[in-house]
Amino acid sequence: MFLGKVIGSVWATQKETGMENLKLMMVQPIDTKECESGQVVIAADRIGAGVGERVIVSRGTPARILFGQGNAPIDAVIVGIVDSFEVAE
């Protein structure tokens, strides 16, 4: 997983099967000093993450498992909203 910050939302009317009723957020990966670190990822959100919140994002088939037998072609999901993190100096 990676640490990210929710920076926005994206909308698409014309889409593939399995993409209906999904909330898609733009997540900027950040480092432990909360600086940008790598390319923005579009992740599905089912736990109510809001813009500005720090989140944990999982990717690939392990993330897709949350959609069970369905055909949602989702390769990134917000799996946690960060309360806090602690990094050793």
Q: Least distance to a second copy from the beta carbon of 57, Å?
A: 9
Find the binding residues for a second copy in span 58-77 (CB under 8 A).
58-66, 68, 71-77
Distance CA(86)–CA(6), nearest Å, equals 20
Closest by CA to 28, choosing from 49, 48, 57, is 57
23 interacts with a second copy by CB under 8 A:
no
38 interacts with a second copy by CB under 8 A:
yes
Q: Is the alpha carbon torsion for 62, 66, 16, 58 positive or negative?
A: negative
Q: Least distance to a second copy from the beta carbon of 31, Å?
A: 6
Distance CA(58)–CA(78), nearest Å, equals 6
Closest by CA to 83, choosing from 63, 59, 53, 58, is 53
21 interacts with a second copy by CB under 8 A:
no
Residue ranges that bind a second copy, judged by CB under 8 A = 1-3, 7-19, 24, 26, 29, 31-32, 37-43, 46-48, 51-52, 56, 58-66, 68, 71-88
